Structure formats: C-alpha cells, structure tokens
Amino acid sequence: MAEPRIYSSEYPAVETPTTPIWQFVLADAAARGDAPALVDGITGQTISYAQLAHMVERMAAGFAGIGVKPGDVVALHSPNTVLYPVVFYAASRAGATVTTLSALATAKDMAGQLADSGATLVVTVGALLPVALEAAGERPVWTCDRVEGHPSVQDLLAADGPAPDVAVDPAEDVAVLPYSSGTTALPKGVMLTHASIGVNLAQIDVLHTMGPEDRIVAVLPFFHIYGMTVLMNVALRKGATVVVLPRFDLLQFLDVLEQHRITRAYVAPPVVLALAKHPAVDGRDFSALSFILSAAAPLDAELAQVCADRLGVEIGQAYGMTELSPGTHLVPDGTARSAPPGTVGKLFPSTEARLVSVETGEDAGPGEEGEIWIRGPQRMKGYFGRPEETDTLIDADGWLHTGDIGTVDDDGWWFVVDRVKELIKYKGYQVAPAELEAVLLGSPDVADAAVIGVYDERGDEVPKAFVVRAPGSAATEDDVLAYVAEHTAPYKRVRRVEFIDAVPKAASGKILRRELRAKEREAAGQA
C-alpha cells in the first residue's frame, strides 16, 4: 500500500495548555472589572466579569462544602441562562467532571445518561424539574433558579469556605463528558480533557478571534459542544459580552441582534435560512453585525450568499465533531468573501488530516473524495467505558475516522460533500437512526423498521422511517408519528413515514440504508 498522504496545517503549531479549563478561560476575568460578561437577553440581568470570577470561586467553595470532589460527575441539565457558565466552571473548579444534558431530553434518555456517566449530582432549572426528578432516582437535584422547597445553587454563592485547591492533570483528567452518537450507534460519553478543550481554544484563536469589543448572542445551546466551545469558552476567555437566550425564537433573536448591537452571530443553517428569507428581517438595523459563523450541519453555498448579500456580512463555516473538542476546520477571519463557496475552511494548526477512499482504502489527492481522518491534540481521550467503540473510531496510528466524505483543493480549502456515517443532523442535533429504530420496534403496530435522513423543503435533514406493519395492523403514518413523539425528545422525532413490505438487509442482518437512500433519490427524481 502507498505511503499515506498527510495534509498538515499551514498555520504555526500551538502549545497545549497546562491549566484546568476554568482557569484557562477565566484567567483574566477578575481584571476586567465591571465589563459585562453575561447578559440575559430577555430580562437584561447582567453579570460582570469581576462578578463572574467571584461567583465561580464562591460556588466552587459551595460545591466542595456539599461534598463535590475530584472524580465526581455533575450533570448540568438546563437551557441557556446567565448562571449556566457559573455552574459549569464552578463544578470544574471543585474538581468534578461536568456532563451536559439536553434541555429537551426525556426522563428516560436523561436517566440513561445519568447512569452511564456515573453522575453524582444533578443541576437543573425549575421548568425542567419534573423530568430531572423522575430521571435522577436517589441522586440529589439542585436548581439554578429558586424553587420553593428545593435547594438552589444560588445558595452556594454564600459559601465562606476557601475555594477548593484541586490538583488537575490536564492531559488525563476529563473536564467535560458530553454525549455523542459518534458515527453510527447510540449516544456515548465523550471524554474531553482539560487539555483537549484548551488546545482547541488556542487553535481557534489562530484563525478566528473575539475581543472585549464584541457582543455575541448565545442562542445555540451551551449543552451542545458548539455552543459550549464558542459561546462560553471562546467568548468568556476573550472578554466578549455574551447575550444569552434560552431557545431560538426568530423575533426575539432579531430583537437581540438589533437592540444589543450584536457584532458576531454563531448559528446553525436553519437560522441562516431565516435571516436570508424571512420578511421579519426587513427594515432592521443590523449595522453592528459583521460576521456570521454557521456550523453543526452543512450550509448550502447559495443560501449563504443570499444571506450575506441581504445583511452585508461575512458568512463562514466551520467543521468538527464532539469527539474533536470539537473543531478541526474554519474559514479564517477576513477570508469568507474570497473563499470558495461552500468551503468549511482551512485545517486548524497542530492538526493533520487524510482523505481515504472508502472503496479502495487508498489516500485521495486534491480534488478527490475520501473519508476525512483527523489526528491532533484536540482529539478526545475516548468514549467513557467503551474501549471497543473507541478503537472502532480511532485507529492504532491515532487517526480518528470522522465518517464524513470530503475534498481539499490545491489551496488548502476543505469541503464536506457527503457522509459515510449514519447519523442524522436535525437542526444541528445528532439523531441516531438505531435509537429511533429501537423506539419504533417497541410499537405493537411495527414488525420492522429502518430510519434514514432525508431533506425537507426547507433544506433541513429530517428522520424518515421505513416501516413494515405488524400482521393485522392498519396503523397510519399519523399513528407512527404520534407513537415516536410520545417516546422521544422533540428533536429526535420521526418526521416522515413510508410503509414497505420488507427492510433491506445484508446477510449479517445489517440494515442496507444505502438502498433506502437510493430509493429515496429515485422517488425524488420522479417527483
């Protein structure tokens, strides 16, 4: 076999930080004094940088006072709030690993993650308290806001003990344990160390930076690695003002862009679509906005151009995955207008990549398609408690096989063109087909089922189920949709159903999704 063709970054290497993530992010916070760090986009409540530093220190002391110690796992189950980063960094400072949970998780999903991660304490919000209590079992549950008869982490801010002084090995100790479906299977805990997260921030800083003059809007969820990295870690490390919204509501989002004079927006493709096409954008003053970054799912190049022209801004893309802390590619600042349409950018510093043909296993050259393999210091430590699945994703030479098909041109611009992996990206959220298939097979009306991603009229990838009815069943599409909706989080729901006589499978029993995709393409061509 030929020697591997390894692509290296054109940027100088960066150093891997040797400090815990809370310290790396908040090192300059206290010195920034009254500069606003976090602003509630709805109420206007503001936490200054000096307050943020003090609150993290006091809450960390409070966590230590209630017994949180190194080796513990604190589960953070909340939409975006101004207290979310405080809890996140305080738990980390007390020595705990933080596992983040989707605010949309069902009690069943949440219970599974709590058990798998070994969570010792749950922090939630009043609105999600019933779900958290059902999922938590015997674990103590605290709230960020104040709920009568329930302990609140705000009480920990009154702690008068010393801030914990915890020894951390940044290269080995797991700072964050987000859950990802990886390339094919059910969600797994992704072990991100203090070093892997920290070095990714240093890598991002070479291609794209923020500063104290920037005001950004945090509408992407902090519990998702994209929001956690860019809207929390990058922004607070660089001194930007983070205007926080709990969820995406278009009019609310547009009001914040305008009224808070947002300078940079970080979004997923459906938001770019709204900004490009929605009439509510007309007549607004977005003159402060200079840059939009889209990530978490592919962005159509024409749509990006329409949005950029309408708003007079630069729009760039980025690429990565949770298992890579998460970033590997980014369109560098100031290059989005001249960069090739549809590119996900340049390779991060201290990062190597390969393009490997799925058919031949040989390395692809510029302009040729291959699976993107990545090697770099931002790579995860592994999947928690799943060494075999870790070894399936990361080979013996340290290459992480992303499951995405890409190309690179002669100038080092990268493109993602397809996916090997079965994962569906619905509005940036990961949806594992195997998980939905397991739900479907729980229905008495379903004898067999397979799920793939298809694209709807808005360009979003959505889960479609191919269902074989159980003998004697007369279930309709609405019946199937309702059953799945009852048993999954909203973002995981099946959006389309087609009844078939048999699910195509290999001799091994593996579902032949490519045949279903071909069937879908054929139907689309005839439509």
CA–CA separation, 21 and 233 (whole Å): 9
pLDDT at position 2 is: 76
Q: What three-state secondary structure class fits 142? A: strand
pLDDT at position 395 is: 96
Q: Which residues pair with 316 in a beta bridge?
A: 293
CA–CA separation, 86 and 156 (whole Å): 11
- Residue extents of the structural domains in the chain: 20-31+47-167, 425-526
pLDDT at position 185 is: 59
**Who has greater pLDDT, 263 or 456?**
263
Residue by residue, DSSP assigns 73-123 as EEEEE--S-TTHHHHHHHHHHTTPEEEEE-TT--HHHHHHHHHHHT--EEE
pLDDT at position 283 is: 95
Query: Which candidate, 86, 167, 153, places its Cα nearest to that of 123?
Result: 153
| Mean pLDDT for the stretch of residues 68-92 | 98
pLDDT at position 78 is: 97
pLDDT at position 517 is: 87
pLDDT at position 420 is: 65
| Mean pLDDT for the stretch of residues 501-512 | 72
Confidence of residue 518 (pLDDT cuts 50, 70, 90): confident
CATH classification for the domain delimited by 425-526, as one of 3.40.50.880, 3.30.300.30, 3.40.630.10, 2.40.50.140: 3.30.300.30
Q: What three-state secondary structure class fits 56? A: helix
pLDDT digits (tens, 9 = 90+) for 92-120: 999 999 999 999 899 999 999 999 999 99
Whether the pLDDT of residue 421 is over 80: the answer is: no
Confidence of residue 184 (pLDDT cuts 50, 70, 90): low
Cβ-proximal residues to 207 (8 Å cutoff; 6+ apart), any chain: 11, 330, 331, 332, 333, 345, 346, 348
Q: Which helix (H) or strand (E) holds 218?
A: strand 215-218
CATH topology of domain 20-31+47-167: Rossmann fold (3.40.50)
Q: For the whole model, what pTM was predicted?
A: 0.85
CA–CA separation, 272 and 313 (whole Å): 12
Amino acid letter, residue 67: G
**Structural contact between residues 47 and 30, judged by C-beta atoms closer than 8 angstroms:** no
DSSP 8-state code for residue 323? G
| Mean pLDDT for the stretch of residues 66-91 | 98
CA–CA separation, 484 and 198 (whole Å): 39
pLDDT at position 508 is: 46
Whether the pLDDT of residue 257 is over 80: the answer is: yes
pLDDT digits (tens, 9 = 90+) for 334-353: 999 999 999 999 999 999 99
